[in-house]
Structure 1
Amino acid sequence: MKKFLKYFALTLLLLIVVAIVYILATFPPIMTGMAAKTMCSCVFVTNREPASVVEQEFQVFPGMPSLPYEVNREDSSVSVTMFWKTGKAIYRKGLGCTLLAEMDEEAVRAQPVRRPQPAITNQDTIAWPSGNLVKDTLLAGIDYGKVREAVNQAFADVDPKNPVFTHGVAVVYDGHLIAEQYATGYTYNSRMMGWSMTKSITNALIGILVKEGKLKIDEAAPVAEWRNDERSKITLNNLLQASSGLEWSESYFSPTADFHQMFIKSDDKAAYAAARKLKYEPGTFFQYSSGTTNILSRIIRQTVSDSAYYRFPYEKLFHRIGMNTAIIEPDASGTFVASSYSFASARDWARFGLLYLNDGIWNGERILPEGWVKYSTTPAPSAKARQYGAQIWLNLGDPYNPQVVEYPGLPAEAIIFDGFEKNFVVIVPSKKLVVVRLGVTHNKNFSLANLVNGIIAGLPN
């Protein structure tokens, strides 16, 4: 018995040592990298105070709120330290923040980039939706009391110990901005994180290149790493529908998952994703993947060339529909992190939703190709619950088991741009409705269904 207990104790000690080594090897880079990048973007891109970032965004991982950080306003950078590891992110005007991983900071700062020019229009002198002049006339048939109540509830904390931190809500009905509300410190011009709603922006940018005849979705994806192997069968459509077949782990809570390896440890996120092996036949297996979206971003870059790439989203999309607060951040290789790193005001996200509600047409001008919205909102064949189109979420449900739906309580016809921390743009075509909710929620105390259905209850039948 003593011998057994001795071996048991030694085994337990060994397991504890292995666990400690694993934690020290994996968690510090993830924690410091995520914290530095998030703090940098919140401070320098959205003009937040560091304390509010610690109170809200840093709650994503236990222990993150206590990490020591330094905001350097002289060189526009943020550093966060945990044990032996320091993560650093830098801000560059016109580009936003970039997390440093492999490349030297000086090399990243010295990159020759043709930065996008700011929009020249003063939106406060232009009528909505292209501008910010909103008529105060009430539309017939709308119960504004019900709409306001639904919006108010989106800011309510049912559990004060676990606040929802809603930052902004905007509601557009039949092209009219009928309601909006903001938390203290936020306005209709405040940039807010979109996280994976950026994937839907990527959909639009690919669509514009399709419209210009520069890309075809049914052709093999132009990825150099795949030319001479079985991955050459992957089409642009497969990437858009998150059905590439590439081996991938999108887990946010496993430090060894592809998601964190790409975002935190790789300077070239598209190259990291493109290096994954083929696990399934392309088009047969649905795997939500930030990696494949970043491959799409590099395809956009290669298609339009570096000389036009950094202006492309602004000149071809954002400024054409009045999304003048919008910004997408690049990684250290210079490619936009088009899976996750975009920011825009609630009104600008509403404008983006309105573009899709109106079939890709803005003020009579076709921005997206004819049929693009229908294609983008048609379920991918591999998405068995009909929950995903082309970088856009759906809610049609499993045809063989209607109770299996991605967003219980939302209308089946809903089109959703979905971002981490419960950031959403919801489009309900039959109701001519766009609902935007932006915030930082890490609990289940916010109900998207209650918000959208409460607004619908106030609309004409």
Structure 2
Amino acid sequence: MKQSLKYLLLSLGVISLGFVSYFGYTLWRILNIGTAYQAKQFCSGVFVSGRSKESVFDRDVLAEIEGLSALEKSIVKSIQVKINRSQQSATANIFGWAKHQAIFRPGLGCTLVIDTTEARLRSQVKSLPLVPQKLNERRSLRQVDSVPPEINQRQLKLALDSVFRPQQHTRAVVIVYQGQIVAERYAPGFSAQMPLPGWSMTKSVTNALVGILVKEDKLSLKDKNLMPEWSDRRSQITLDSMLHMSSGLTFNEDEGSPLGDLIQMLFGRANTAGYAANQPLAATPNTKWQYSSGTTNIISRVIRNAIASDADYLTFPRRALFNRLEMQSAVIEPDASGTFVGSSFMYATARDWARFGLLYLQDGVWEGQRILPEGWVKYSRTLAELAPQKNYGAHFWLMNVAASSEQNQILTAQGFQDQYIAIIPSHQLVIVHLGKNEQATRQQFIPQILAAFTN
């Protein structure tokens, strides 16, 4: 009996030790993600957006923890963040543990230092022409001198007042009609000169970068064997299937899971594309639709592989797209391996996001020059047939909004926390909304705006 009790107690001890070890390891992983997330967000908020550390904490961190438990809130508030302005970096830790650093590089924004060194990351960009030249005068997207008579100004103001209510947490709105800004508003603490995150709107910019390379015959939508590690059935995944989110790869897109694929990829890995590419197939390619940020980061690596050198790759978005659209504020931030995080990490002013939308409104043409291949915008609107809600194209979302008994098919770039660009050819409109809202406003705001343009 004593011997049996001894073995029982020993077994319980081993089980308890295993449980404590597992719990401790899981907690450690969560804390590491928390400090990495804050280092990255403070770095981009301070050095890309030009905000104060206090603004990022009060307007971003505190807003994001509203729905957490008291314990979770206390953990987040215990994370200490240090801003080093001379080194242009942000470092976060919790009681000296789980330390993470993100560094700012002009023209590339902020990157988490993971599995590398700060010196190595900074050496990658020496002498590269990454910072845009200042333009004496922007030729495009000027503010209208007087509001056209066909616009119902009262309705337009009511729509803006509604979306800027305090509980909406809207930060910026720009409305472009027939190529000119007819309405623009910013929340206190934000301005027309402040680059703001687009989160998954970056995916639609990745669509444009692919289109440019297709136009240059450096990529084809039918391309297979896209990644060197795909020697199995994954070699049959095409660029077209990835743009339509039907690669078949396993990926957990849960934004609220710190240990899920999305958060681990963005804030816990040096090589975002490598992490996503190493996922197994959940379904045969082109037989199942699944929205996946991992898929977009694989596309970012495909773009990198199609360009002659890393130096050319790092300057490619600015040279091929941003400079041509006069998007001076725009940056896509790379990961520590040097691949752009094309799923999520782009910053631009509301006006520059509007310029991007205007490119698609104008069928890929900018000031008489074709930027995107002919038919590319139509392709981007092509329905992903496997999407359950029939509301996704090629790295753009599709919306059908009724206004004054008229159905309007709208092409939208959409991002986390209520970022969106709505491109509406029927009304020659581009609507940009940037904010920090957990509840989407677009289903109400876009019809309200359309109602002002249906006189």
Same fold by TM (over 0.5)? yes
Matched, 1:368 2:377: no
Q: 1: CA distance between counterparts of 2:183 and 2:228?
A: 48
The equivalent position to 2:441 in structure 1, one of 437, 447, 454, is 447
- For residues 31-71 of structure 1, what are the alpha-carbon distances to aligned partners after superposition, in whole Å with 9 as ceiling and x for unaligned? 11111101100000110111111122213244224421111
d(CA) in 2 for partners of 1:211, 1:328: 21
CA displacement at 1:166 relative to structure 2: 1.6
Q: SS where residue 68 of structure 1 aligns?
A: strand
Structure 1 residue 113 displacement after superposition = 5.2
- Write the deviation string for residues 325-382 of structure 1: whole angstroms up to 9, x where unpaired: 1111111111111111101111111111111111111122111111111111111122
RMSD: 2.6
The Cα offsets for residues 186-210 of structure 1, whole Å up to 9 and x where unpaired, read as 2222111111100000000000000
Partner of 1:116: 129
Distance 1:386 1:114, change over 3 A: farther
User: Which residue in 2 is equivalent to 1:106?
Assistant: 119
Check if 1:51 corresponds to 2:54. yes
Q: Of the candidates 79, 90, 108, which is equivalent to residue 95 of structure 1?
A: 108
**CA distance in 2: counterparts of 1:356 and 1:48, whole angstroms:** 30
> Structure 1 residues 219 and 120, CA, compared in 2 at 3 Å: closer, same or farther?
same
Matches within 5 A, 1:275-290: 275-290=278-293
**Higher mean C-alpha deviation, range 306-315 or range 324-333:** 306-315
Q: 1:241 aligns with which of 244, 256, 262?
A: 244
Q: Which residue of 2 aligns with 1:401?
A: none
Give the deviation of 1:250 after TM superposition: 1.0
SS in structure 1 of the partner of residue 386 of structure 2: coil
Partner Cα separation in structure 2 for residue 202 and residue 150 of structure 1: 31
Moved over 4 A (4+): 10-20, 409-412
Partner in structure 1 of residue 143 of structure 2: 134
1:181 aligns with 2:185: yes
> Within the alignment, does 1:229 sit opposite 2:232 as a pair?
yes
Counterpart of 2:92? 80
Distance in 1, Cα, partners of 2:407 & 2:255: 28
Once the two structures are overlaid, the 10-residue window that deviates more, 200-209 or 88-97, is 88-97
- 5+ residue gaps, structure 1, are 158-162, 398-404
Matching of residue 25 in structure 1 with residue 28 in structure 2: yes
1:417 and 1:426 in contact (8 A); partners too: yes
1:354 paired with 2:358, answer yes
Q: In the aligned structure 2, how far is the partner of 1:252 from the partner of 1:436?
A: 23
Cα distance in 2, alignment partners of residues 362 and 239 from structure 1: 27
Instruction: Give 1:53-452 correspondences, 5 Å limit.
Output: 53-58=56-61, 59-61=63-65, 62=68, 63=73, 64-83=76-95, 84-112=97-125, 115-122=128-135, 125-129=137-141, 133-157=142-166, 163-226=167-230, 228-305=231-308, 306-395=310-399, 413-442=409-438, 444=439, 447-452=441-446
The 3 A distance-change label for structure 1 pair 46 and 347 is same
Q: Percent identity?
A: 41
Query: Does the 8 A contact of 1:36 with 1:80 survive in 2?
Result: yes
Write the letter of the residue equivalent to 1:370: E
Structure 1 residue 143: Cα displacement: 0.8
**Kept in 2: contact 1:410–1:449 (CA 8 A):** no
Structure 1, 422-431 or 197-206: larger mean CA deviation = 422-431
Give the letter for the 1:104 counterpart.
T
Is the contact made by 1:167 and 1:183 (CA closer than 8 Å) also made in structure 2? Answer: yes
Would the aligned equivalents of 1:116 and 1:310 in 2 still touch at CA under 8 Å?
no
Verify the 8 A CA contact 2:128 2:311 in the aligned structure 1: no
Counterpart code for 1:103: T
Residues 138 and 326 of structure 2 are in contact (CA less than 8 Å); yes or no, is this contact kept in structure 1? no
Report the Cα distance in structure 1 between the residues aligned to 2:146 and 2:117, rounded to whole angstroms. 56
Shift of the alpha carbon at 1:453? 1.4
> 1:112 and 1:313, CA in 2 relative to 1: closer, same or farther beyond 3 A?
closer
Structure 2 distance, partners of 1:460, 1:139, is 12
Q: Distance in 1 between matches of 2:326 and 2:400?
A: 31
Distance change in 2, residues 1:411/1:436 (3 Å): farther
What is the rounded CA distance, in whole Å, between the counterparts of 2:280 and 2:78 in structure 1? Answer: 38
User: In structure 2, how many angstroms separate the alpha carbons of the residues matched to 1:204 and 1:455?
Assistant: 26
Distance 1:185 1:88, change over 3 A: same
Counterpart CA distance in 2 for 1:378 and 1:300 is 21
**Post-superposition shift, 1:148?**
1.9
> Residues 414 and 428 of structure 1 are in contact (CA less than 8 Å); yes or no, is this contact kept in structure 2?
yes
SS at match of 1:167: strand
Matching residue's letter, 2:129: P
Normalization by structure 1: what TM-score?
0.88
